[in-house]
Amino acid sequence: MATVTEAPPLAPAPAPKERPPRKRGRLTPYWLLLPGILWLVVFFALPMVYQASTSVQTGSLEDGYQVTWHFATYWDAVADYWPQFLRSIAYAGTATMLCLLLGYPLAYLIAFRAGRWRNLILILVIAPFFTSFLIRTLAWKTILADSGPVVGALNTLHVLDVTSWLGITAGDRVLATPLAVICGLTYNFLPFMILPLYTSLERIDGRLHEAAGDLYARPFTTFRKVTFPLSMPGVVSGTLLTFIPASGDYVNADLLGSTDTRMVGNVIQTQFLRILDYPTAAALSFLLMAGILAIVTLYIRKSGTEDLV
Amino acid sequence: MGLLRWFRSRLVVIAGLLALGYLLLPNIVVTVFSFNNPKGRFNYEWQQFSTDAWTDPCGVADLCGSLSLSLQIAAWATAGATVLGTMIAFALVRYRFRARGAVNSLIFLPMAMPEVVMAASLLTLFLNLGAQLGFWTILIAHIMFCLSFVVTAVKARVMSMDPRLEQAAQDLYAGPLQTFLRVTLPIAAPGIAAGALLAFALSFDDFIITNFNAGSTVTFPMFVWGSAQRGTPVQINVIGTAMFLIAVLFVLAGMVISNRRNRQKAS
């Protein structure tokens, strides 16, 4: 019964304890970080070092590899595979542009015009993620089949004559041509464009549109002077999220393309898993990384949103 | 003129819906062709209607085995990445410490790296260590690339959280553990759930990194990849359709629940 009297006095409150945010345990953040960061260091950063070292090794699979600072591997890789590098950049760049052209109206639609359909459309954009992307990419084989309605329509409209002249299709086929690969890439990475665009469009205050209208801006002028500039963060992160994975992709080029549409990802995959020429594969993979870093840095500097990441 | 004006005023809507159609067309094709009865080994051309594949989804050798392996890996990878990622997210939002910038870039880099580069570098590590490629190497790789996405999702939620709620709990004599379990965790839960869901989807669907680090182990995406060379069974379409439907139902159910909860709060 004595314990009752020892109950903490409610008033006056014990002198309000000094509670500067998180004084106890100055080591706490490090303990929280340790396991996850260790994981990333060991399985992400360290492998990059290993790969760098592999790329300057010589030797053979039987006798083992030795670090010999053999930088010639890089020159040989560039000399042998520059068409695949160029193709990767060209395909990924085209797919990114198409994603922007297709994704912008859809993101705009969801953000401003969809009303009560907004959530449903958002679900329909995200839900395909849960169907294996390989299955969906294979479906394009059916859609673009030689005797299918799409190729038939394109033929009737003489579109394929134009695209063949441009060199992105061959004869009256779409499958196994650059067009099919670009189509697959665009399709696969479109959601990565739509979602950041939508997020940045959704943040725009609708009253800005009204204000622009009150100032006699035509809808297109409003778009050009108000909406688009304000959505730039979304445009930048969307293009990066599309371009980077697209330039390293080898699934679309393998499933929808031919030997003439091989991208650098295909080469890395073959060198690593079939030919087992690890130094060349590592050098190619490093070159791809460096190339992308260079393009991305240039792009971010140009678009002037360095505080993005 | 009227038609033209109508068209122009609806231009965005029409273009948007066309893009949506482009996005959903493969799913429609996958669904339709899950009812096909193909003649050859490949399921690319429509032959005749059949529900055989739906009544016997495991009728193909190794398909359901690879599916259950993928589900297991995805479950473990989600658990691992969610725990590690949530801890990192809390440390980054709640504490000021040295090396914060370095940690932030280490989190960001895996998301900004082409998958094939990560896949290849991880393989060189495993080869150098002489590790046996298989379940464990896949799991290690999946936790690695899911981690950053979980951190980003949880961070966004914890950042918008009012720290005074925790202070209030402590003023009411809640211990640190109690505060964490009864206040902090419930508020952060939607972010953690979003991160976990993302991790699960990413892990389950990953092909490129798995292809490099799986050895002879076959996950579901790898089974699909192999079938593209050897012949695609209709059952693949059945699984793809089912996954799409489950995802849609899952999200719809979540929306109904949260709507009802909001309405209860309002009344």
Q: Convert the pLDDT of each residue in A100-140 to its tens digit.
A: 999 999 999 999 988 889 988 998 998 888 888 999 999 99
Q: What is the CA radius of gyration of chain B?
A: 23
CA distance B190 to chain A (A): 17
Q: Give the residue among A200, A97, A155, A140 at the shortest CA–CA distance from B23.
A: A140
* Cβ–Cβ gap B16/A105 under 8 Å: yes
**Most A CBs within 10 Å, among B43, B67, B117, to test the A interface:** B117
Q: Is A173 helix (H, G, I), strand (E, B) or coil?
A: strand
Closest CB from B26, B94, B121 relative to A187 = B26
Can you spell out the DSSP letters for B123-143?
HHHHHHHTPPPSHHHHHHHHH
Residue A170, beta-bridge partner list: A173
Q: Please state, in angstroms and rounded to a whole number, the distance separating the CA atoms of residues A83 and A96.
A: 20
CA distance B227 to chain A (A): 10
CA distance to A147, A158, A162, B44, B205, per residue, from A171 (Å):
13, 11, 10, 21, 35
Q: What percent of chain A has pLDDT over 90?
A: 52
* Cβ–Cβ gap B143/A39 under 8 Å: yes
Q: Residue B231 contacts by C-beta under 8 Å, 6 or more apart in sequence?
A: B40, B41, B42
Closest CB from A46, A119, A137 relative to B125 = A46
CA distance A33 to chain B (A): 5
Closest CB from A29, A143, A289 relative to B25 = A143
pTM: 0.88
DSSP type of residue A117: G
Chain pair A-B, CB pairs under 8 angstroms? 253
Contacts of A107 in chain B (CB under 8 A): 16
Q: Hunting for tokens 């680090």 — which residue is that?
A: B213
Could you tell me if residue B12 is left (phi over 0), alpha (psi between -120 and 50 degrees) or otherwise beta?
alpha
CA distance A266 to chain B (A): 9
CA distance B143 to chain A (A): 8
- Interface contact A275, partner B, CB < 8 A: no
* Cβ–Cβ gap B106/A37 under 8 Å: yes
* Cβ–Cβ gap B30/A8 under 8 Å: no
CA distance B1 to chain A (A): 18
Nearest CA in chain B to A241: B112
pLDDT values of chain B reduced to their tens digit, one per residue, 267 residues = 678 888 777 888 999 999 999 999 999 999 999 999 888 888 888 888 988 889 888 888 889 999 999 999 999 999 999 999 999 999 998 888 888 889 999 998 998 899 999 999 999 999 989 999 999 999 999 999 999 999 999 998 888 888 888 888 888 888 888 888 888 888 899 899 999 999 999 999 999 999 999 999 999 999 999 998 888 899 999 999 999 999 888 888 888 887 887 777 666
- Interface contact A190, partner B, CB < 8 A: yes
Give just the sign of the alpha carbon dihedral B134, B139, B144, B149: positive
Q: Please state, in angstroms and rounded to a whole number, the distance separating the CA atoms of residues B12 and B64.
A: 43
Q: Please state, in angstroms and rounded to a whole number, the distance separating the CA atoms of residues B257 and B262.
A: 9
Mean pLDDT value across residues A263-269:
95
Residue A67 has what pLDDT? 80
* Cβ–Cβ gap B246/A130 under 8 Å: yes
Position A12 pLDDT exceeds 60: no
CA distance B99 to chain A (A): 10
Q: Please state, in angstroms and rounded to a whole number, the distance separating the CA atoms of residues B244 and A18.
A: 54
* Cβ–Cβ gap B205/A249 under 8 Å: no
Position A7 pLDDT exceeds 50: no
More confident residue, A276 or A65: A276
Contacts of A121 in chain B (CB under 8 A): 20
ipTM surpassing 0.85, yes or no? yes
Residue A6 has what pLDDT? 42
**Most A CBs within 10 Å, among B27, B100, B118, B121, to test the A interface:** B121
Element (H, E) at B220: helix B220-230
Closest CB from A29, A142, A285 relative to B121 = A285
Element (H, E) at A229: helix A228-230
Convert B170-207 into a string of H (helix), E (strand) and C (coil).
HHCCCCHHHHHHHHHHHHHHHHHHHHHHHHHHHHHHCC
Residue A301 has what pLDDT? 84
- Burial tier of B80 (Cβ tally within 10 Å: 0-12, 13-18, 19+): buried
Residue B8 has what pLDDT? 77
Q: Please state, in angstroms and rounded to a whole number, the distance separating the CA atoms of residues A295 and A236.
A: 13
Could you tell me if residue A176 is left (phi over 0), alpha (psi between -120 and 50 degrees) or otherwise beta?
left
Cβ A139 vs Cβ B26: under 8 Å: yes
Q: Please state, in angstroms and rounded to a whole number, the distance separating the CA atoms of residues A198 and A185.
A: 20
DSSP type of residue A14: P
Residue A304 has what pLDDT? 66
